[in-house]
Structure 1
Amino acid sequence: MFKEIDARGLSCPMPILKAKEIIENQNPTSIKVIVDNQAASQNVWKFLKSQGFDSVIESSGNDFAIIGKKQEESICDCETETKKESNNKISVMITSDKIGHGDDGLGSKLMVNFIKTLKEIGTDLWSVIFVNSGVKLTTEGSEVLSDLSLLKEKNRCNILVCGTCLNHFNLLDKKKIGETTNMLDIITTLQLSDKI
């Protein structure tokens, strides 16, 4: 069964929630979701992939069509297995590119030092989530790109970056590290965490 969803004009995470509802209630073998921004297209593509769909994104003008076909066999969710292995999953949410209010220069230095020190948590650090102006720390020119890369490679930490926020700041094409994600994934990550 084929289902088509027109999610143009809907803000994150509504396109994903509409697709989720169709998949759970109607179990289509193929699905097409139409959105009107790149961040939403990436989020829907990622969601369909997590649901066992082979998906492609086709763009036409300002619209993006994410077309997914159900795989014969579900691919192993290795990330989920890794999550289950961890005894203590700690997630950190970064909502700004600075810490505190008052002196922006000091706030920026504090944030850089904070991120550089996150590695001390060790392998219990499961995910670092960037939202609002915090997404700027994952983009071209950020002082902490090498530190985030170290967290990802050595600590096996998930770096999640809000796609709506990147889109708001016109930074989608300047992101250098992390997985562009959506509010549904962020909520799920927080829900599965032992400590935040």
Structure 2
Amino acid sequence: MKVIDARGLACPAPVLMARDAVETDADGRVKVIVNDRASKENVSLFLESRGFHVSVDERDGDFHITGEGGPGAAAAPSAADLPDADLKKIMVMVTTDRMGYGDDTLGLKLMLNFIKTLREMGSELWRLVLVNNGVKLAVTGSAALEDLNSLAAAGVTILVCGTCLTHFDLLHEKQVGETTNMLDIVTAMQLADKVVNI
């Protein structure tokens, strides 16, 4: 089994190291050691997305993430992850919980209206990515939760930056979406037909 010590490394380094190990290790087993919860979630999600059975053991503040799958067990991307040739896939990246500058109350109201109106994009809205202060839209107490849950129920994949949640000490407050890392965000950008930044 290949063992990777990624303690102290910032996102996306632990995920990239896990990816390299998966691509080069023939026995289908890998262990990644990290020391923060966001990296634990990101590495676990990455390994699961590649078809590995994942177990996590916490020892003295470190997380030992073991992925077992064997050669060829890695899952191919699902049809839902790949853009349909006939349908435009739009990714919207939201970097703040307010829209515009000047008045914060107005900015929050505008952002909530924007999130509510995103459903008008219909099936072209493929990914909604929340980074930096935008992750606050997906946590306990956010006025956007009802609309975000509605989008998720309609099939929109909502990705919430794990490093950002950790920075704001909100990892345990996330109520909607998948905790993600920069590798997943960049991959989504590559697959999208159009990226809209807010």
Give the letter aligned to residue 136 of structure 2.
K
**3-state secondary structure, aligned to 2:78:** helix
Larger displacement relative to structure 2 (97-106 or 164-173): 97-106
Measured in 1, the distance between the counterparts of 2:116 and 2:188 equals 22
Displacement of 1:26 in angstroms is 3.0
**3-state secondary structure, aligned to 1:149:** helix
Match of 2:16 in 1: 17
Match of 2:79 among 78, 81, 84: 81
Match of 1:56 in 2: 55
* 2:44 pairs with 1:45: yes
Measured in 1, the distance between the counterparts of 2:160 and 2:16 equals 19
Measured in 2, the distance between the counterparts of 1:29 and 1:76 equals 12
**3-state secondary structure, aligned to 2:66:** strand
**3-state secondary structure, aligned to 1:176:** coil
Displacement of 1:84 in angstroms is 3.6
* 2:100 pairs with 1:103: no
Displacement of 1:101 in angstroms is 1.2
Give the letter aligned to residue 60 of structure 2.
G
Structure 1 or 2: larger helix share? 1
After TM superposition, list the pairs within 5 Å mapping 1:138-157 onto structure 2.
138-154=138-154, 156-157=155-156
Maintained 8 Å contact 2:29/2:70: no
Maintained 8 Å contact 2:127/2:156: yes
For structure 2, which runs of at least 5 residues remain unmatched after alignment? Answer: none
Q: Which runs of 4+ in 1 moved over 4 A?
A: none
Give the letter aligned to residue 129 of structure 1.
V
| CA deviation string 1:146-195 (max 9, x = no partner) | 101111112x1000000000000000000000000000000001110001
Match of 1:192 in 2: 191
Match of 1:125 in 2: 125
Measured in 2, the distance between the counterparts of 1:71 and 1:113 equals 47
Match of 1:174 in 2: 173
Give the letter aligned to residue 103 of structure 1.
D
Measured in 1, the distance between the counterparts of 2:190 and 2:72 equals 27
Maintained 8 Å contact 1:43/1:180: yes
| CA deviation string 1:73-114 (max 9, x = no partner) | 64755x630234361101100000001111111111110010
Where relative contact order (Cα < 8 A, 6+ residues apart) is larger, the structure is: 2
| CA deviation string 1:16-66 (max 9, x = no partner) | 111111222233421110000000001000111122211111111211110
Give the letter aligned to residue 183 of structure 1.
M
Measured in 2, the distance between the counterparts of 1:161 and 1:115 equals 15
Maintained 8 Å contact 1:52/1:71: no
**3-state secondary structure, aligned to 2:108:** helix
Q: TM-score, normalised by structure 1?
A: 0.93
RMSD: 1.6
Give the letter aligned to residue 144 of structure 1.
A
Give the count of matched residue pairs: 193
For structure 1, which runs of at least 5 residues remain unmatched after alignment? Answer: none
Q: TM-score, normalised by structure 2?
A: 0.92
Measured in 1, the distance between the counterparts of 2:78 and 2:149 equals 21
Larger displacement relative to structure 2 (119-128 or 79-88): 79-88
Displacement of 1:69 in angstroms is 0.6
Maintained 8 Å contact 2:54/2:66: yes
